Structure 1
């Protein structure tokens, strides 16, 4: 600062001293002005580096709806909340993203069920068309606090043409256990693509005991089956290691019901080292009038490791391995035989 500059009045003339003081004041003012505008990050208090741009570090709020990038699978945006005081599950449908082009001009309809016991679907209709139709609907399920943790939310998306013909777009199965802690959180889930004809669902329970080397399977029930006759339905379960059939078991025939209850229990001997090589194949069959004829195949389900299954089928198998000696129940969609 100028006040610390030594004054040699004897050696310098007055005009020369004033000129030097003026020059020092100008340099000091320039430094202070630069530092005031550019922030406190500088090298030796002389060369300013810059300041932090807060916009680069913004975080999207949890309740903000952001569309998924183009090219991804069709996705559903929704949220769930459970109110213990009234024992109500609130499902808020917000929008769909990346709907396939062939469905853009159709009306989009959504059917919601609370598996396994809810038989009456709730419906919601989109308020527009195009690739990202919006719903903004809230649907309420009356369910106790004990049952809601055991339930799975099933959301089936349908595309309805002008003549009323429906096409299945896809479905989301959302287990509620462990997902009700953050109420109102916006969720995005990929739709599992549906076949044009829905073959129905089946509920299966799996458990494994490593000490006994025993795989326990229970086929509990099925729903929405496309029956061909009134001859009844049975389920055939086979254990397979690689391409080798190890063992096959069949249940008794349940007569004439679209939603049969089997409660068919069976066990298979399976060593722990084969858990990553084995799979279970479920076939829902309808016997023919003549015993000599092979039964009609209504649908197929394969549960197993990554070698055989994906999605919920793979998750069910991994949950069984990670929770030994505890039964793991889950609903699965039936597919066609390949």
Structure 2
């Protein structure tokens, strides 16, 4: 009788021991799982930093330091501080070695930026570098002369800090100009190549109207230079025009920037008359400001015309450079003398660069397109724009 009773007691004891071991094992596993969950919750608030991500900054409290991803900060735990997001464009100035490569092409290009400081009424022009300099200028020193037209005649100069096809400048030039005048001004750029004996060669020139270009301070700009070969004027002279078209506003905008190589015998005034023509009908005529007659006058005069999109293929602009003789009476019915004419428009009216300028204006919506055009002798005996 004692043997079965002993067997039953041993069985019950073993069963209780196994049950106790199971309970202890479950408690250990649960405690370990709770610790893992707490650890994962703690580190999950810290975003992981993948490879090739944004740089990190150290943030510390006491002797404890962490590395916080700049772009992914979201909370504050223990020694973490809520830094927030950083708008790098407001604080960074583009280093010279991080300037993006110039657009593809063979033209010599200038890399620069403009910024207007209202508190001090200063226009700051930062010259960065040139690109695609012609091979014959690689061994020479490169100079850049800047003028703020039409009032500032004293040039500011900057000398390149090296030679070769892409000389670097990294200089800042300052112009003192009021906020009212700066929007009506044009930045004139002249790039010169200086040999060892001091002889200078014109590499190229560019005119940069400041209207509409001062909204994004420090933005890196690339501008093509009119090369030395192109700077050879036509027989009657050249005129530089900027065109842009907005289909939503049904508005054709143009800027008469300047002229060069004019054949003037006196210093009387000159101006530009612009006629908007649809088929054979003269729709609207406008005239620029009158400037003192000189070989290279600067107008920088803006005009706008109302033009519907359906008329882009049958409308044109006729430019007439007009010479105003001295002491011309306002009551005189004699038309002013013409120095040259230019027509910009579609295939119906123009060819070559004149046609290309018009097509570029249509294809580049609301983006100003500037070009130099030679003046012609078409109907110089009388003026059709009156």
Instruction: Give the whole-Å Cα distance in 1 for the aligned partners of 2:359 and 2:122.
Output: 26
Deviation at 1:263, TM superposition (A): 11
Residue 180 (structure 2) pairs with residue 146 (structure 1): yes
| TM-aligned CA distance change 1:312 to 1:177, over 3 Å | farther
| TM-aligned CA distance change 1:295 to 1:107, over 3 Å | farther
Residue 373 (structure 2) pairs with residue 335 (structure 1): yes
| TM-aligned CA distance change 1:311 to 1:268, over 3 Å | closer
Instruction: Give the whole-Å Cα distance in 2 for the aligned partners of 1:274 and 1:217.
Output: 17
Instruction: Give the whole-Å Cα distance in 1 for the aligned partners of 2:114 and 2:302.
Output: 34
What's the counterpart of residue 227 of structure 1? 263
Instruction: Give the whole-Å Cα distance in 1 for the aligned partners of 2:265 and 2:202.
Output: 24
Q: Does structure 2 retain, via aligned residues, the 8 Å contact 1:239–1:245?
A: no
Structure 1: unaligned runs, 5 residues or longer = 1-50, 321-329
Match of 1:53 among 51, 54, 73: 51
| TM-aligned CA distance change 1:131 to 1:216, over 3 Å | closer
Match of 1:308 among 344, 355, 374: 355
Listed as ranges, the matches of 1:103-142 within 5 Å are 103-142=137-176
Match of 2:312 among 263, 272, 275: 275
State the structure with more CA Rg: 2
Listed as ranges, the matches of 1:1-338 within 5 Å are 52-54=50-52, 63-65=94-96, 66=99, 68=101, 72=105, 73-160=107-194, 164-171=199-206, 173=208, 175-177=210-212, 179-182=214-217, 184-185=218-219, 187-194=220-227, 195-197=230-232, 222=258, 225-230=261-266, 233=270, 235=272, 237-240=274-277, 246-247=281-282, 257-258=293-294, 273-275=310-312, 277-284=314-321, 297=340, 300=342, 302=344, 308-310=355-357, 314=361, 319=366, 334-337=372-375
Instruction: Give the whole-Å Cα distance in 2 for the aligned partners of 1:207 and 1:302.
Output: 13
RMSD of Structure 2 on Structure 1 (CA)? 5.5
Q: Does structure 1 retain, via aligned residues, the 8 Å contact 2:182–2:210?
A: no
Q: TM-score, normalization: structure 1?
A: 0.55
Deviation at 1:68, TM superposition (A): 1.8
Report SS of the residue matched to 2:161: coil
Report SS of the residue matched to 2:164: coil
Q: Does structure 2 retain, via aligned residues, the 8 Å contact 1:201–1:223?
A: yes
| TM-aligned CA distance change 1:266 to 1:111, over 3 Å | closer
Aligned length: 267
Instruction: Give the whole-Å Cα distance in 1 for the aligned partners of 2:188 and 2:117.
Output: 19
Q: Does structure 1 retain, via aligned residues, the 8 Å contact 2:192–2:203?
A: yes
Deviation at 1:104, TM superposition (A): 2.0
Deviation at 1:135, TM superposition (A): 1.7
